[in-house]
Amino acid sequence: MDKIVVNKLDLFYGDQQALNNIGIAMKERSVTALIGPSGCGKSTFLRTLNRMQDLIPSVKIMGQVKIDGQDIYVAGTDVVLLRKKVGMVFQNPNPFPKSVFENVAYGPRIHGESDKKKLSEIVETSLKDAALWNEVKDRLHESALGLSGGQQQRLCIARLLAVGPEILLMDEPTSALDPISTMKIEELISELKDKYTIIIVTHNMHQASRVSDRTAFFLSGDLIEEDVTSVLFTRPAKKKTEDYISGRFG
Amino acid sequence: MKAHQADRFATIMLWIGALAIVAILIAFLTLILGRGVPHLTSEFFNGPDGVRGQLFNSFYILFLSLVLSLPVGLGAGIYMAEYAPKNKFTDLIRLSTESLASVPSIVFGLFGMIVFVNMFGLGFTILGGSATLALLNLPILVRVTEESLRAVPRSYREASLALGATMWQTLRKVILPTALPGLITGITLVAGRALGETAILIFTAGMNVSRIPFDVNPLAAGETLAVHLFAVKSNPLPGTNADQIADGTAALLIIMVIVFNICLTLPSRWLQRRQLGKNKM
């Protein structure tokens, strides 16, 4: 079933058009990778899916983004509920300057959970789901800023899982990490896709081919091609895609 | 090799600068405290010329001025940092705050005298003094608040908002706690100024002390320690030992400011540590 359906999406920064007429559908419990050179609009597109792009003052957005059949850009959409359902992992790990426990408990707390026992349970499950529990279970009340970069990124994923999202948006989640941490995150993504719909922006084509079911190629604000990952990388339909994946530019 | 020499030279110069600061501070403290502390007897506080009233007034006026200025100053600073759109109007607000921050305090004093003492007809009152002090401190509070909030990384805001937090939750639970050390510094700065301010208070709170001990009537006149120091030195009453009172008062003022700063800084450090988790790094 299609979880996300995007239709004729245009986005402008002031007068500058950054996304042209994007149309794409993403299946439930699958991983979609967005690839393309820097500035092609892939991150911008990702951020339209949880309306984080709205935070930039001069942005204008037109078109439709439907999640579970609901257009998230119609007036009266509850952005708080939307972002609870559509979570995001950022390029640089950004844990709060709080303890490990408080980082994960932050989401449930702001959504009204105050029961200590329940919070502990949520923290434990989320950390286990993010494959971090064993490394931090003895230091839950120490600062999250003392963790390594890779651990911090998995903590951010745990923090996200704790609010019970259905869709995970990942904006180059491993670009600031070393190869071993990257591998751990990639393994985690393959586990998480049993439960979540994942969209990952990556500049690394090998990563896209390793983790994703489908891949979308963006160039200068256009969605050039979108297909099953193995097909897109071996038999692309468009010349531009072929030039990009064979390393002729980008 | 040149870069290496320049590096050593710069290091030495910076060291000298830092040492000079410490040396000046030590010289200053030994002189003022050395001359003043021996006079800090019970008689100095409770005697006929005692400064108990002034000491109380200093803190009372400080307290009232903070009560008046903190909500507005913090509020405006938060608005400027988090909510205000970037346009000509907010630029104007920022310019106005900066101009106000550089107005000499005696001009504020005159303003306070015209408004509170004369127009409102209050006469010299603690209330008028506190309100004028609050005006003096407002622009600084706004600026310090805005700057401390802007220093909080954008990524914290994004993380919180992306989890479905509202702007207010983000502000209360992430931004303000992270900005707390900066805010405390700002409040300390403002409080120190309030404790030491003279020009404003001479014009608005007057140079008299209520005869009732610990008089909390805000409509009474209220001479503070700093004003007292000025009054004793510039116009010594016959039959009193003005120099001794002045030395003692100066020492007492310094001790007050130091104690007050410690009282603000330590709890904020403790709060931060508790919030951050056990070990910092």
DSSP string, B118-165: IIS---S-HHHHHHHHHHHHHHHHHHHHHHHHHTS-HHHHHHHHHTT-
A210 in any annotated domain? yes
Which is higher by pLDDT, A62 or B208?
Answer: A62
Our count of domains for chain A comes to 1
Q: How far apart are CA B181 and CA A111, in angstroms?
A: 27
Residue A226 has pLDDT above 50, yes or no: yes
C-beta atoms of A84 and B164 within 8 A: yes
Quote the radius of gyration of chain B (alpha carbons, Å): 22
Average pLDDT score over residue span A23-45: 94
Helices B225-234 and B176-196: angle between axes, nearest 10 degrees: 20
Smallest Cα–Cα separation from A20: which of A62, A54, A56, A48? A62
Contacts of A96 in chain B (CB under 8 A): 156, 159-160, 174, 178
Residue B145 φ/ψ region, left for φ over 0, alpha for ψ in the -120 to 50 degree band, beta for the rest: alpha
Q: Which of B158, B164, B276 sits opposite A98 (nearest CB)?
A: B276
Reduced to 3 states (helix: H, G, I; strand: E, B; else coil), residue A41 is coil
Structure tokens at B212: 């009732």
Strand ranges for chain A from DSSP E = 2-13, 16-27, 31-35, 59-67, 70-71, 86-89, 167-171, 197-201, 214-219, 222-228
Q: Evaluate whether residue A71 is within a structural domain.
A: no
Q: Residue A209 sits in which domain range?
A: 28-55+77-245
Tell whether pTM > 0.90.
no
Are the beta carbons of A142 and B159 separated by less than 8 Å? no
Set of chain B residues whose Cβ sits within 8 Å of the Cβ of A95 = 159
The upper half-sphere exposure of residue B166, i.e. CA atoms within 13 Å in the direction of its Cβ, equals 7
A167-171, strands of its sheet edge to edge: A86-89, A167-171, A197-201, A31-35, A214-219, A222-228
For B40-276, which CATH superfamily applies?
A: MetI-like (1.10.3720.10)
DSSP-derived secondary structure letter, A143: B
Predicted confidence (pLDDT) per residue in A68-120, tens digit = 999 999 988 999 999 999 999 999 999 999 999 999 999 999 999 999 999 99
Q: Looking at A228-232, A236-240, B192-196, which range is the least confident one?
A: B192-196
Which residue numbers in chain B have pLDDT < 70?
1, 239, 277-281
Q: What is the mean pLDDT of residues A162-175?
A: 95
- For the CA atoms of chain A, what is the radius of gyration? 18
Contact B158 A97 (CB under 8 A): no
Query: Residue A241: which CATH number?
Result: 3.40.50.300
Give the mean pLDDT of chain A. Answer: 93
Residues of A in contact with B168 (CB under 8 A): none
In a domain, A64, yes or no: no
- How many beta-carbon contacts under 8 Å exist across A and B? 95
- Using a CB-CB cut-off of 8 Å, the residues of chain A touching B280 are 143, 145-146
Residues shown for chain A? 250
Scan for tokens 């300390």, then name that residue. Answer: B188
Q: What is the pLDDT of residue B251?
A: 93
Predicted local distance difference test score (pLDDT) of residue B193:
86
- Decide if A61 is inside a domain: no
3-state secondary structure of A49: coil
What pLDDT sits at residue B233? 85
The pLDDT value given to residue A250:
63
Give ipTM to 2 decimals.
Answer: 0.91
pLDDT digits (tens, 9 = 90+) for B86-116: 888 888 988 998 898 889 999 999 999 999 9
Domain boundaries, chain B: 40-276
Judged by CB atoms closer than 8 Å, whether chains meet at A96 and B160 is answered as yes
What is the C-alpha to C-alpha distance for residues B183 and B178, in angstroms, rounded to an integer?
10
Chain B residues touching residue A159 (CB < 8 angstroms) = 159, 163
Tell whether B274 lies on the interface with A, counting CB pairs under 8 A: no
- Cβ-nearest to B165 among A81, A110, A146: A110
Q: Residue B278: its pLDDT value, please?
A: 58
